[in-house]
Amino acid sequence: MASEFILSETGAGVLSITLNRPEVLNSITAAMSAELLATLNRAADDDQVRAVLLTGAGRGFCAGQDLAEATPAADKPRQDFAAHVRKVYNPLVRSIRRMPKPVVAAVNGVAAGAGASLAFACDFIFASSQASFIQAFAKIGLVPDTGATFFLPRLVGTARATAMMMLGEKVTADQALSYGMIYRVSEPDKLLDESRAFAATLATQATFALGLTKRLINGSAANDLDAQLEAEADLQGTAGRSDDFQEGVAAFLAKRAARFEGK
């Protein structure tokens, strides 16, 4: 499928995806979401891709739902947002969380509504010092979606998550870092280089095990201790049979750098 609203390129084992509707701060239409989902799903199956980077073109990361596409009209029946969220947003979150490789968000500017939620679904968040995070839903009479009510309390605790989601106030990159909500703040002109270099380093690591680690992190949100211990044992069995484990130990014993292939 040719992409009109996103750009993508692969290099050094990293698929870089750029949301590309800068004139509306990369807000999401159904068409853009379909392109993003197809690209993410292809990345999941592509052995050449061992890490994914998600960023936005222009001065914004993503302003959430394109409100021009979701405008209520007095003379029309009210829209069914339940169906919209299930179709347009939930598959994106599932695709990022099920991706058996790390996904890095490079938040170059404002991330609002579902745009912020998408960043929260990623494994690492780099943010420009000029970026901000806004749970804009409350301001327009909606509830947080796209996983925000799942990820945000886990990232920052219930008190801060409630304030962010009920007040819709802007959280700066530095605040987000101090909350433990994001991984790193970069200077605006260094964000892409730093986050891409980070993703490229991840892509040289034992990415098969990183994918399994991600599954364990996903599971720990719902499992009790016994279930989680069992899941760890199970996936350690899988990791222990991998080529990357053979290589990792061989490299350690030979005192050389490992050459992982992600399998």
Q: Which residues bind ligand LHQ (CB under 6 A)?
A: 24-25, 27, 63-68, 70, 81, 84-85, 110, 112-114, 134, 136-137, 140, 142, 145
Question: Which amino acid, one-letter code, is at 205?
Answer: Q
Q: Minimal distance in Å, beta carbon 112 to ligand LHQ?
A: 4
Report the residue number, 26 or 207, with the smaller CB distance to ligand LHQ: 26
Q: Which is nearer to ligand LHQ, 27 or 195 (CB)?
A: 27
Looking up tokens 């939620």 gives 117
Nearest distance from C-beta of residue 69 to ligand LHQ, angstroms? 8
Please enumerate in sequence order all residues whose Cβ is within 8 A of that of 151, keeping only pairs 6 or more positions apart, or say none. 117, 120, 121
Provide CB contacts within 8 A for 256, sequence distance 6+: none
Beta bridge partners of 6: 19
Phi, psi of 79 (to 5 degrees): -75, 155
CB of 137 to ligand LHQ, least distance (A): 5
| Residue placing its CB nearer to ligand LHQ in the complex, 61 or 260 | 61
Computed on alpha carbons and rounded to an integer, the radius of gyration of the chain in Å comes to 19
Tell me how far, at minimum, the Cβ of 145 lies from ligand LHQ, in Å. 5
Determine whether 67 is exposed, middle or buried from the number of CB atoms within 10 Å of its CB (0-12, 13-18, 19+): middle
